[in-house]
Amino acid sequence: MLNDKTILITGGTGTFGKAFVRYVLEHYEPRKLIIYSRDEFKQFLMQNEFKQYQDKLRFFIGDVRDRERLPRAFEGVDYVIHAAAMKQVPACEYNPDEAIKTNIHGAQNVTAAALDAGVRKVVALSTDKAVNPVNLYGGTKLVSDKLFIAANAYAGKKETCFSIVRYGNVAGSRGSVIPFFKNILEQGGKELPITDYRMTRFWISITEGVELVIKALQESNGGETFISRIPSFKITDLAQAMLPGCEMPEVGIREGEKLHEIMVTEEDAPNTYEYDKHFIIFPQMTWNNRQMPNPDGKGKKVAEGFSYSSGNNSQWLSVEEIRERLSHLEEH
């Protein structure tokens, strides 16, 4: 599907962008990959990292806030992956106007540019924090998600369709618990602080995140939210996997933090279908016959009152399984 296609990635020099570019170049033969981002130094580093693919890559300086810049970048593009965002919770809380400009106005600009340029498919990255948000970052991503889904209403007879991919913190990503614990151990620490003993998280690798986006590109008809079925783990088990027998003082939950990562709420259940390796939340509203739920008939509608979070998951990693995954983990 991605062979001989031109694909643009907003925020393309970030963790996801680089992983997506590498995966596509290793598994497909795209016509061109356009890296759209605002940091020229990161683009310079990425150019050097991927210099063997220089004939396939184009680097485009730009900001999703810039409504005039995006149409030029989107010319001739088949698919857009929207990964640009302000993501750090404290940064969003202290700079709310900037978070709104990037996460909300940026979403508006991307959808408008994609419609005007005739882009075939747009997949936007979401987050568990957009579900029942308790912080500004989550709030802006909730609005962003709704904007991408509603953009299907503007497509009319155009082929352009918009969908969402939702997952939590990638294992080992910057700002997540694994590098936090690792830094303590590297400093000689003998105990690992736990904000709340009940806390759980999903385990998703960056490769699994990329593969979910590609699935969305392959299967989306407009308005869907794709969610991986992945295992959960307890933060206390992670601590024991990293430092067996360590003390784990409970220090209290942080501002804007949740006990569990929530992916599907009870309110989403009437529109949610279960597949072998993922869930799809179909849009409540449909704008043409492409948006009908479960179009291939392969999904099973979830039960009334169903919800899916890291706290009520049926798949759990043991301490030994966590330790095994840590041994193969790349930091991002």
All structural domains of the chain, each given as residue ranges with its CATH number in brackets, are: 6-168+204-229+262-307 (3.40.50.720)
Is residue 129 flagged as an active site residue? Answer: yes
Which residue among the candidates 5, 18, 129, 141 is catalytic per the annotation? 129
Can you give the chain as a three-state secondary structure string? CCCCCEEEEECCCCHHHHHHHHHHHHHCCCCEEEEEECCHHHHHHHHHHCHHHCCCEEEEECCCCCCCCHHHHHCCCCEEEECCCCCCHHHHHHCHHHHHHHHHHHHHHHHHHHHHHCCCEEEEECCHHHCCCCCHHHHHHHHHHHHHHHCHHHHCCCCCEEEEEECCCCCCCCCCHHHHHHHHHHCCCCECCECCCCCEEECCCHHHHHHHHHHHHHHCCCCCEEEECCCEEEHHHHHHHHCCCCECCECCCCCCCCCCCEEECCCCHHHEEECCCEEEECCCCCCCHHHCCCCCCCCEECCCCCCEECCCCCCECCHHHHHHHHHCCCCC
Per-residue pLDDT of the chain (332 residues; tens, 9 = 90+): 899 999 999 999 999 999 999 999 999 999 999 999 999 999 999 999 999 999 999 999 999 999 999 999 999 999 999 999 999 889 999 999 999 999 999 999 999 999 999 999 999 999 999 999 999 999 999 999 999 999 999 988 888 999 999 998 899 887 789 999 999 999 999 999 999 999 999 999 999 999 999 999 999 999 999 999 999 999 999 999 999 999 999 999 888 889 999 999 999 999 999 999 999 999 988 777 777 787 778 899 999 999 999 999 999 999 999 999 999 886 55
Q: What is the pTM of this model?
A: 0.94
